Amino acid sequence: MYTLSLVKLLAFCYSLGATGHLIELKASTDLPHGASQPVDHAFASFSWPVHFFADYAGNKSCPNHFSQDIINLLHEKTGAYPHIRVGGTSADRAILNTSQSSSIVLSAESDNGIPLEVSLGPVFFEGFENFPSTPWTFQVNLANNKSNALENALAEARAAISHIRGNLYAFEIGNEPDLYPGDVRPLDYTVADYVKEWRSFADAISTEVLHGNRYGLNDWTLFQALTFVFNLNGFSTAQAFKDGIDMDGHVKSVSWHQYASGNQAWVRLQESFMNHTAVTGNLSQYIEDMTLIHSYNPNITFLLGETNSDYVNLNMSQIEGVFGSSLWLIDYLLYGMSVNITRFNLIQGTTFGYAGWTPVEHNGLAPQVRAPLYGQLVAAEAIGRHPIVQVKALDLERDDLSAYAIYESGVLARYLVVNLDGWNSTTKYARPSQKFALDVSHRVKSAEIKRLVGPGASADTGITWGGFSWNYTDGRLGRTGKDDTEVLKVLKGAVRLEVDSSEAVIVELQQE
């Protein structure tokens, strides 16, 4: 009896402490100093590994309508089609076999779930045509150390462009070359060696594939460079530019790969992901690189061309594909916008724990929408369809809370608030909440509130955004639920609301 009373007392004190303090969020009515540049409406995009491309895209005779519907849903919310990068380690192991009848053949042997050998047939490339409005980045194989490596890369580029046509955003050459030394290249392989190879491949693709193309594509400056993942072996943005990566003017964009963690023993959902300080640390490291690139060539953009929660992508069920990871993703995407990273290509995979959806039947389970997609939907609505959107991160000096002010044509249009405090229904205390007062202009008379809610940080079902859930239904993306948007009045120049632990809200300000 004493123990039960103590538990109740502790739960009451925790709840009182969490709800008792009012946090005031003050954002300038007009665009403040330090706000982001205009956000690319396709900011939250995708990266599909070559060995899973056929799952996500299908082919001409069997398109994946489920994936098509998800891409179209994001387009409806932002007015932009997500960019899709097709590449990865499996692309750097891919060989084109023009006589192969099947789309793709994978070796049984794998490394962390990635096949050691990949053979592509012509049917593989039909998948691009199932997304006629999608901008694509396609990676050719650079890791190949055989004598016909360049010929294979040129053949891949030709096959890709014949189906992508005018929707080609860029070619990539190789994947994570900072991991080449001691693997597919000698141990003493340097950045200068990589740059020399990269430039020779770019020259050849420009001259033999892009030159004179009938799709209106730039035949020279159409390459996404670097794709580094770690600062290993002396590989860095600064060294690549010093060694002449853009000496010939081929570089359109620079991509880094970023994962919040691996599978280290210390990785936890709350501390490693649902933690705003961790998010800012992971992304602010690229500010120096962006400044350096701009000093070389202000027309080159910087993006995270392959990114998600962890680079292991298997056996991380405690952090992958759960509701807390969707809240992490919102904070991750919004903070990335605020520091002017151009775009995130969120890597997906049929077997990857952090995937936003499973595109085909797997392990006896039907295709499905998974928790992380909800984070992307919230980020898409935060951007919206207005042509000029900018973001300002609001510093709450808290690990467990994050907030952003979002501007349309320089005027405060909405707030986004994420309560990253991890709560689960299995705990013995009531779900806490945090009270907020959001400062608004005198022109604002009311606010519409949409909430991303779930049963708890570790749940992977029962999630709704604005009252709706999405899932696979008869081969398509289906929606269930009922709109539960709240309307709050402005009181004394502020909108007052509570945000539960493990919840996110968008507060849309209604101008008079």
pLDDT at residue 3, rounded to an integer: 34
Q: Per residue in 392-431, pLDDT tens?
A: 999 999 999 999 999 999 999 999 999 999 999 999 999 9
pLDDT at residue 394, rounded to an integer: 98
Q: Residues 6 or more apart from 44 whose CB is under 8 A from it?
A: 74, 82, 333, 344, 346, 376, 379, 380
Cβ–Cβ under 8 Å, residues 87 and 139 = yes
* All domains in the chain, ordered by first residue: 2-35+390-511 (2.60.40.1180), 44-388 (3.20.20.80)
Q: What's the burial of 13, exposed, middle or buried (CB within 10 Å: 0-12/13-18/19+)? A: exposed
Quote the CA–CA distance of 212 and 300 in Å, as a whole number.
23
In which residue ranges of the chain is pLDDT below 50? 1-18
Beta bridge partners of 434: 499
Element (H, E) at 486: strand 486-489
Quote the CA–CA distance of 435 and 437 in Å, as a whole number.
7
Q: Per residue in 440-456, pLDDT tens?
A: 998 999 999 999 999 99
Between strands 114-115 and 94-96, the pairing is: unpaired
pLDDT at residue 424, rounded to an integer: 95
What DSSP assignment string belongs to 373-386?
Answer: HHHHHHHHHHH-S-
Quote the CA–CA distance of 350 and 115 in Å, as a whole number.
13
* Neighbour count for residue 270 (Cβ, 10 Å): 19
pLDDT at residue 221, rounded to an integer: 98
Q: Per residue in 173-206, pLDDT tens?
A: 999 999 999 999 999 999 999 999 999 999 999 9
Q: What is the dihedral of CA 320, 322, 327, 329, to 10 degrees?
A: 30
Cβ–Cβ under 8 Å, residues 116 and 109 = yes
Distances (CA, A) of 285 to 84, 86, 232, 256, 304: 24, 25, 15, 11, 12
Question: Which of 371, 331, 503 has the alpha carbon at shortest distance from 424?
Answer: 503
pLDDT at residue 17, rounded to an integer: 41
Cβ–Cβ under 8 Å, residues 130 and 57 = yes
Q: Residues 6 or more apart from 296 whose CB is under 8 A from it?
A: 241, 246
Pull the structure tokens for residue 162.
């014949």
pLDDT at residue 109, rounded to an integer: 87
